[in-house]
Amino acid sequence: MNVVQAAESLLALSQQEELEDLSKDDPLSPSEDEGDIDGERKHKKLLEAISSLDGKNRRKLAERSEASLKVSEFNVTSEGSGEKLVLSDLLGPVKTSSSLAAVKKQLNRVKSKKTVELPLNKEEVERIHREVAFNKTSQALSKWDPIVLKNRQAEQLVFPLKKEQSAFAPIEHVLSGWKARTPLEQEVFNLLHKNKQPVTDPLLTPVEKASLKAMSLEEAKMHRAELQRARALQSYYEARARREKKIKSKKYHKVLKKGRVRKALKEFEKLQKVNPTAALEELEKIEKARMMERMSLKHQNSGKWAKSKAIMAKYDLEARQAMQEQLARNKELTQKLQAASDSEEEEEGAEEEGELVPDAVNEIQMDANGPNPWMLRNHSRGTKEIKVQDPEQLPEPVAHEASENEEEDRPGAEEEILLNEFEERRSLRKKSGLSQEAELVSRQEPKDSSSQEVLSELRALSQKLSQENQQSGKQNVSSARTVLAVQREEPTEAEEEPLLLQRPERAHTVEELEELGKEGCFQNKEVPRPVGEGQQSERNPDNQPGAPKEKKRKEQMIDLQNLLTTKSPSVKSLAVPMTVEELEDEEERDQKQMIKEAFAGDDVIRDFLKEKREAVEASKPKDVDLTLPGWGEWGGMGLKPSAKKRRRFLIKTPEGPPRKDKNLPHVIINEKRNVHAAAHQVRVLPYPFTHHRQFERTIQTPIGSTWNTQRAFQKLTTPKVVTKPGHIIKPIKAEDVGYRSSSRSDLSVVQRNPKQLSIRHKKHLKKNSVD
C-alpha cells in the first residue's frame, strides 16, 4: 500500500513540476538565483521521494523550514539533516584539548565494546544440553557393553556377583594352634627344624612372602590398564600411518610434501639463526641430495618440459631436436669417464636403443637381461623373439648411420627407421604367433585323431557290451519267461502296476542264484522260483509272447512272489518235533498242504497288490475337473464334452513327493501325517536360526536323566540365573567387573575423546557457530 501511495505522490509531484515548468516557461522568471535555489530544493525532494520508494525509510522526513525574511548563505540550512551523527565527528575537535582525555578514553572503550549477542531461545538451548548429556552418558555407558554381552552369553549367572575371596592359607592358622605331642611328631618336627623348614607359623618362607607382596592385585591391574592403553594408542597410530600411506591422491601427497618442505625450511632458518655452521652443512647436504637426484636418470624425460616435448616431437622438428639435445646432455653428464677402448659401435647401438626406443620396450629389454623373473615370464615370448631378431636387425641401423652420417636430420630419420623396424617386428611377431597357433592346431589334430580312435574303440567295446547285455537280458527275459512267468491269469491287473516297474534288471546265472538261495540271503530280489512253478508256467507256453511291458510287470509280480516263496534249506536240527518224527505219512500231507497254501498264497499276493494300489490311489491328490457338460456345445444323454474342453478345464494338482514304499512292492507305508504327534513338534523357529535343520541339530541331544549321566544331566539343566537366598543383590558396580572406579573412569572416558561426539551433535555445533 505504501509503495503505491509513494508512487502516486511521485506521479503527483512530477505533474506539479511540469506545471511549474510550464509556468516558468511562460512568464520569464524574475530572479534566476531564486529559481535555482527553488530547483535545487525540488530536486532534493524528488530524490527523497524516490529513496522512500524502496520502503526502508518510508517515514517522510518532515522538512524543517523556518519562516525567515532573509535567507543568507551563511545561515544554517536544514539540508543533510537525515545524516547520522557519528561519534568520531564529535571527537575530532576534542583532540587537542588534554582535559578531555579521560572522557575520550571512556568513549573509546564504549566504542570498542561490541553488543552482546542475542541469547538462543529456550528450546534450542535445552536441545543442546540434552544432546551433550546424551553423548556423555552414552559414552560412559558404552564401557559396559562387553560386560553386558558377556552376561548375555554366559551359561550361568550367580547373584550376588561379589564373590567372597576364598581363604587361601587358613592352614597356617589352623596349624598355629597345633603342637607336636607324640614322640613321633616331635621327631618329625625336629627333623624339619634341622632342615630350616618353616613349620608352623609362616608356612611360606620370607622370600615367598615378599614375592607375594611385591605386586598387589590393584597395582597389577593399573599397570595392565596402562599397558593396554599404550598398546591401543600405538596400534591406532600404526593404523593411521598405514591408511595415510595408502592414499593415492597425488594432490594430497603434493600438499603433504609441500608442507614437509616448508617445515624443513623453517627449521633450517631457525638453525641458521642458532648455529650457522651446522646450517651450512645442512645446506651442503641438501645441495648434494639435489645434485644426486638431478644426476640420476630419474629426470631425464619425465619432467613437464620433456613430456610436452615428447608429445610435440612427433610433429615438430625443433622439439625433436631439443629433446635429442637434452638426452645427449644427460648422457654426457651421466657418462662415466673411462678409456674409450670399448667398441664404439656397440655403444652406439646401445645408445640408440637407449635414446630412441620407447620406455616400455626399454623396460622389457632390461628385464630380459636383468633378473626380474616376473616380467620375464610375462614377456618371455616377446623377448625371445626380439633376441632372435636382434642380431639380424641391429647391424642394419648401424649401416644406415654410416651412410647417413652426413645428413643433418639424422636423428629424426633414424627414429623413423626404428619405428618402421618396430612395426615390422610387430607384424613378424604376429605372424610367428599365427604360425605357432597353426602348429598347435596341427599338433592337436593328430591328438584328436588318436583320441577319436580311442573313443571309437571304446564305443565299439561299449556296443559289444551292450549287445551282450541285451543278449543276456533277452536270455534273462526268456529264462524268466520259461521259468518265472506265472500269473498269466491277471494281465489286466498287472497293467495297472506302474509303481512296480522301475526296477533295474540284474543278470544272474541260475547257479549263482541258487547259491544265493542256499545262503538264505534275499537282498537281491531275483531268486529262483521252485521248480514246480516253473513247470506250471511251462504248461501254458502259448501265453508267452506278449508285450515287453507286460513281461516286466510279470517279473515284478514274480519278484514279489519270490519274496514269499523261497526255497531255503530245511532245518538240520537234532530235535525235530515229535509229531514230525512219529508220523510217516506226515510228509505227504505236508506236500498237499503246501500246494494248498501255494494256491492260497497267490490270492494273498493279489489281494495285497490290490490293497496297495487302492492305498496309492487314495493318497494321490485328485485333479479338479471343472468341465460343464453342455456348455458351449451340445449336451445330453450319451454325449461327452470334447477332449479339448476336458483338457482345458482339468486342473492338475502337482505331483507330490514320491511315496516311501515306491520301490518296496511288499510294503504299504501310510503317508498320512500324525497330527497328534505334530502338535508336540516345534513349529516356530527360534531367533538366531534361519533354517529348521540348524535348529534340529541343537535339539538332537536328549536332556533327561534317563539318557545322561548324573553330571551331564545336572550340567544340561543348570538354571540360567542362580540367586543365593538371603543375600541382597546389589546392582553391578565397576569394581565388580574389574574397572577402577565408576566416577573416575566415566570422567576419563569423557575427557579422553572429547572429539568423539555424534555427527548430529557436530552438525548442531556448526550451525550454532554459523549463527
Partner 1 sequence: METAPKPGRDVPPKKNRLQAKKKKPRRYWEEETTLTAAGASPGPPGNKKRNREPRPQRPKNANIAKKSRVSRKRQLPKKPRERRNLEPQRSVSGAQDPFPGPAPVPVEVARKFRRIDKSEKLPHSKSKTRSRLEVAEAEEEEISTKAARSELLLAEEPGFLEGEDGEDTAKIRQADIVEAVDIASAAKHFDLNLRQFGPYRLNYSPTGRHLAFGGRRGHVATLDWVTKRLMCEINVMEAVRDIRFLHSEALLAVAQNRWLHIYDNQGIELHCIRRCDRVTRLEFLPFHFLLATASETGFLTYLDVSVGKIVAALNARAGRLDVMTKNPYNAVIHLGHSNGTVSLWSPAMKEPLAKILCHRGGVRAVAVDSTGTYMATSGLDHQLKIFDLRGTFQPLCARTLPQGAGHLAFSQRGLLAAGMGDVVNIWAGQGKASPPSLEQPYLTHRLSGHVHGLHFCPFEDVLGVGHNGGVTSMLVPGAAEPNFDGLESNPYRSQKQRQEWEVKALLEKVPAELICLDPRALAEVDVISLEQEKKERVERLGYDPEAKAPFQPKPKQKGRSSTASLVKRKRKVMDEQHRDKVRQSLEQQPQKQEKAKPLRARPSALDRFVR
Residues 488-527 that bind partner 1 (CB under 8 A): 501-502, 504, 520-523
Considering only residues 641-660, where is the footprint of partner 1 by CB under 8 A? 660
Residue 68 as a binder of partner 1 (CB under 8 A): the answer is: no
- Separation of alpha carbons 545 and 485, rounded Å: 11
Least Å distance, CB 578 to partner 1, is 5
Query: Which window, 154-162, 445-453, 735-743, 747-755, contacts partner 1 (CB under 8 A)?
Result: 154-162
Residue 683 as a binder of partner 1 (CB under 8 A): the answer is: yes
Q: Which is nearer to partner 1, 46 or 594 (CB)?
A: 594
Residue 668 as a binder of partner 1 (CB under 8 A): the answer is: yes
Residue 697 as a binder of partner 1 (CB under 8 A): the answer is: yes
Q: Which is nearer to partner 1, 91 or 594 (CB)?
A: 594
- DSSP-derived secondary structure for 428-456: HHHHHHHHHHHHHHHHHHHHHHHHHHHHH
Q: Characterise 59 by phi-psi region: left (phi > 0), alpha (psi -120 to 50), beta (else).
A: beta
User: Binder to partner 1 among 471, 698, 758, 768 (CB under 8 A)?
Assistant: 698
- Separation of alpha carbons 532 and 598, rounded Å: 11
Considering only residues 596-615, where is the footprint of partner 1 by CB under 8 A? 597-598, 600-601, 604-605, 607-608, 611
Residue 558 as a binder of partner 1 (CB under 8 A): the answer is: no
Q: Which is nearer to partner 1, 59 or 711 (CB)?
A: 711
Instruction: Give the cell for residue 740.
Output: 577402577
Q: Which is nearer to partner 1, 120 or 712 (CB)?
A: 712
Report the length, in residues, of the chain. 771
Q: Which is nearer to partner 1, 64 or 672 (CB)?
A: 672
Task: Output 114-122 pairs: Cβ under 8 A, ≥24 positions apart.
Answer: 120/768
Contact between residue 143 and residue 749 where contact means Cβ atoms under 8 Å apart: yes
Considering only residues 420-479, where is the footprint of partner 1 by CB under 8 A? 470
Least Å distance, CB 384 to partner 1, is 38
Residue 398 as a binder of partner 1 (CB under 8 A): the answer is: no
Query: Which window, 15-23, 258-266, 507-515, 542-550, contacts partner 1 (CB under 8 A)?
Result: 542-550
Q: Is 110 exposed, middle or buried (0-12, 13-18, 19+ CB in 10 A)?
A: exposed
- Separation of alpha carbons 462 and 39, rounded Å: 127
Residue 625 β-bridge partners: 650
Query: Which window, 17-25, 278-286, 535-543, 576-584, contacts partner 1 (CB under 8 A)?
Result: 576-584
Instruction: Give the cell for residue 748.
Output: 576419563
Query: Which window, 42-50, 249-257, 413-421, 695-703, contacts partner 1 (CB under 8 A)?
Result: 695-703
Least Å distance, CB 175 to partner 1, is 10
The letter for the amino acid at 702 is P
User: Binder to partner 1 among 565, 742, 745, 748 (CB under 8 A)?
Assistant: 565
Least Å distance, CB 722 to partner 1, is 7
User: Binder to partner 1 among 506, 711, 720, 755 (CB under 8 A)?
Assistant: 711
Residue 192 as a binder of partner 1 (CB under 8 A): the answer is: no
Helix (H, G, I), strand (E, B) or coil at 180: coil
Query: Which window, 139-147, 625-633, 705-713, 732-740, contacts partner 1 (CB under 8 A)?
Result: 705-713
254's CB contacts (< 8 A; 6+ apart) are none
Helix (H, G, I), strand (E, B) or coil at 17: helix
User: Binder to partner 1 among 122, 196, 680, 755 (CB under 8 A)?
Assistant: 680
The count of other CB atoms within 10 Å of the CB of residue 513 is 16
Helix (H, G, I), strand (E, B) or coil at 42: helix
C-alpha 42 chain-centroid distance:
81
Query: Which window, 7-15, 259-267, 561-569, 723-731, contacts partner 1 (CB under 8 A)?
Result: 561-569
Considering only residues 201-260, where is the footprint of partner 1 by CB under 8 A? 203
The DSSP H or E segment spanning 575 is none
Contact between residue 229 and residue 747 where contact means Cβ atoms under 8 Å apart: no
Least Å distance, CB 224 to partner 1, is 22
Query: Which window, 139-147, 218-226, 263-271, 568-576, contacts partner 1 (CB under 8 A)?
Result: 568-576
765's CB contacts (< 8 A; 6+ apart) are 757
Residue with cell 490270492: 603
Q: Which is nearer to partner 1, 340 or 600 (CB)?
A: 600
- Separation of alpha carbons 593 and 599, rounded Å: 10
- Separation of alpha carbons 558 and 543, rounded Å: 16
Contact between residue 481 and residue 543 where contact means Cβ atoms under 8 Å apart: no
Residue 121 as a binder of partner 1 (CB under 8 A): the answer is: no
Contact between residue 734 and residue 162 where contact means Cβ atoms under 8 Å apart: no
Least Å distance, CB 762 to partner 1, is 24
Residue 672 as a binder of partner 1 (CB under 8 A): the answer is: yes
- If binding means CB under 8 A, how many residues of this protein chain bind partner 1? 94
